[in-house]
Structure 1
Amino acid sequence: MTKSNKRELSQEQREELLRTLKARFEKNMNRHEDLEWAKVQAKLEANTEKLWSLYEMERTGGEPDVIGHDEKTGEYIFYDCSAESPKGRRSVCYDREALESRKKHKPENSAMDMAAAMDIELLTEEQYRELQKLGNFDTKTSSWVQTPANIRKLGGAIFCDRRYDTVFVYHNGAESYYAARGFRGSLKV
């Protein structure tokens, strides 16, 4: 067994994930009108390490889907497209520093640590706003987004949600965590 096997999927897991991603792609064509599944699948099959990250996004409730194509790099862009913040990634503070600063009632993990372990990036505020143009997300939950260094340096972190048909950006202490707050990720393949 090689060291990298931990991040490799079995043939059955790969096939199941590709079926799930294809079905979601076909069901939500408004997210990627000018893209073809066959090209996305070919790219995924050529980058199997990225399949592991997509599997983790799926396993934790993110429902990843293609939301765009980077013409410069040729990469397809996946975002978590679950209606609410992914269930398997909630009740987390913002980052490791925030987690370690808590004296009592520490959450099990942080958004930044989980994203790094999955080899994905937290959405930025701009990416979050792009996602919201594709549907109504986080109408009952909220999602941590990448926080500017100047805000984080002062102890804060930002999160977003959608209420009253409007996307809101809020702040909290980075060490805070709530059952209805998780994070959404992005992955380029």
Structure 2
Amino acid sequence: MNQESLTSVLNGRLSKLTYAVAAGLLLVACSQGSESANLEVRDGETVKKQVEQASSHILKMMALNGQVTDTGALTIRCTDYDSGEEVYRARHPWSVYQVPVPDMEKAMDRLRVELPEMGWKVVKDGVDDSPAKSPQIVAESKGQEYAVDVRLLDERKYGDDPSLIEVTVQSSCYRAK
């Protein structure tokens, strides 16, 4: 598979899975209810930069030398709030590929150890709900400002798609400045 085809496949898989990941993270990062008056007022660009910094720290924890897709953080509305309210979150989906699966498994093990050491609380460590039952780690940062969902998609048995670790870092909901 050439680089252009590989990038196209990964971007398609990333966009499909990003929505599923975001739905799961909504439960984690916005579990405080739907009282927008109680939300912190924050600058959206600052929140996006902070989410990208959290992503960078997670990539360093994984210590993988592969290709990284990076769409940059996006701002989206929090769906638990009325559409007229200015309540948002930042979400940063990315993945690492072109790494042997055993190295990816070791990276998942490193996250299990290092996320708690860095103040993250692991709220799920098991498999996702997909037919493949992919290994999944979901964690919240201390103070619950951010959540991360990490999945190892081992495609060796399923076809020509590359195996990868998919990561989505997401902020909690905030009121726009």
TM-score in terms of structure 1 length: 0.29
TM-score in terms of structure 2 length: 0.30
RCO comparison, higher one (Cα < 8 Å, 6+): 2
Structure with more strand by fraction:
2
